[in-house]
Chain A
């Protein structure tokens, strides 16, 4: 457990200094843990666990857009779980439930615990449709068609810088829309 969290911290340090591959590995590594915790939280609140994937995506977006609030000298896991807890409470509240989120939901996860079947997330996909055309096109190109920034730039006759800006703005407004929603 401690070892795993040290790995996360090291990956996040690399990610903050611009290592996209380390960042990708980190997000892949934390996702099953977040998913298991989200399912536990939903079950505890008497909610259907098939909404867990929406919560996971909500957490991942927040982690991404707030990553500058992580102190590189501090361990990564407490920061991650604070964001995750906040997002879980928020989404349960929006569903009109009294909320009891146990800190342990995020603290102890059995190592090898895999999430067998995963319900599809619908909220991000739905909000994607309400983004400005350019942002939506760029997001879809990179997310769904797994095109690189370079290829996306070529496809839409944009500069790579403009693609990056559209990508970043798209993610930010997606998060804002999820919050209002």
Chain B
């Protein structure tokens, strides 16, 4: 086919306006969110004392951290879905959840604690946490990759890693409502391991599926 012929063909295909990347991502994440919620309700469920736990600022902080992770990763991921985008000036957004976490750890240090530090860090649920966050993340990771695939990232592995962090942030939000370990030290350890794992899986998958 001559290039002129191709150009004519492309110019004929302008009536349909493609969806913006953000919209595709939102729809995909909503659908996958329902799957993850179903998995969560079937296997774990919200902790029984949730009403009183909400009065504990360290319980609430878990959601601030996980939602900050999810939303900053969504913003950075959407930014990277444009071909000319670089991480410069945007990567710091991903530090926001870590700042909340560091603040939480600092506050906890200042308060008198009945349980020693190592016990708070190891917690009771670390093994559940290590399985639950990645498992709940997988449908969300698939959705994030589908959404971002609609974009045109010229850094597919990095964008995939961001998709992994995004899915871990959302999955951890669900998991946090089940887990009775509220210490920021626990979150900083086990949630971070889960998030890092998902970032690696996302990078490997992204390098394959986000190329365009």
Question: Contact residues of A with B, CB < 8 Å?
Answer: 15-16, 18-21, 23-24, 27-28, 31, 53, 56-57, 60-62, 64-71, 74, 78-79, 81-83, 85-86, 90, 118, 120-121, 124-125, 128, 139, 142-144, 146, 148-149, 164, 167-168, 171, 179
Contact B152 A62 (CB under 8 A): yes
Contact residues in A for B21 (Cβ distance below 8 Å):
68-69
In the complex, residue of chain A having the shortest beta-carbon distance to the beta carbon of B24: A68
Contact residues in B for A81 (Cβ distance below 8 Å):
84
The number of chain B residues with a CB under 8 A from chain A is 30
Contact B3 A53 (CB under 8 A): yes
Contact B1 A128 (CB under 8 A): yes
12 new A-B contacts, CB < 8 A, other than A31-B3, A86-B154, are: A18-B14, A20-B14, A24-B11, A27-B7, A61-B10, A64-B10, A68-B17, A69-B21, A74-B84, A125-B1, A128-B1, A164-B15
- Chain A: minimal CB distance from B140 (Å): 22
Contact B13 A171 (CB under 8 A): yes
**Alpha-carbon gap, A23 to B151, bound state (A):** 20
Q: Does B5 contact A (CB under 8 A)?
A: yes
Contact A121 B7 (CB under 8 A): no
Contact A20 B11 (CB under 8 A): yes
Beta-carbon contacts under 8 Å, B1-50 to A? 1-21
Question: Which 7 pairs show the lowest CB-CB distances between chains A and B?
Answer: A24-B11, A82-B84, A82-B83, A66-B152, A143-B5, A68-B18, A143-B9
In the complex, residue of chain A having the shortest beta-carbon distance to the beta carbon of B19: A68
Q: Does B212 contact A (CB under 8 A)?
A: yes
Contact residues in A for B212 (Cβ distance below 8 Å):
62, 65-66, 86, 179
**Alpha-carbon gap, A20 to B82, bound state (A):** 23
Contact A121 B3 (CB under 8 A): yes
Contact A69 B6 (CB under 8 A): no
Give 20 A-B contacts (CB < 8 Å), ordered by A residue: A23-B14, A27-B7, A27-B11, A28-B4, A31-B3, A53-B3, A56-B3, A57-B3, A60-B3, A82-B154, A83-B83, A86-B83, A90-B211, A120-B2, A121-B1, A124-B6, A125-B1, A139-B9, A142-B8, A146-B5
* Contacts known (A24-B7, A53-B3, A143-B1); A67 close to B18, Cβ less than 8 A: yes
**Alpha-carbon gap, A128 to B9, bound state (A):** 13
Contact residues in A for B154 (Cβ distance below 8 Å):
82-83, 85-86
**Which of A61, A86, A90, A144 has the most B CB atoms < 10 Å from its CB?**
A86
**Alpha-carbon gap, A143 to B12, bound state (A):** 9
Q: Does B81 contact A (CB under 8 A)?
A: yes
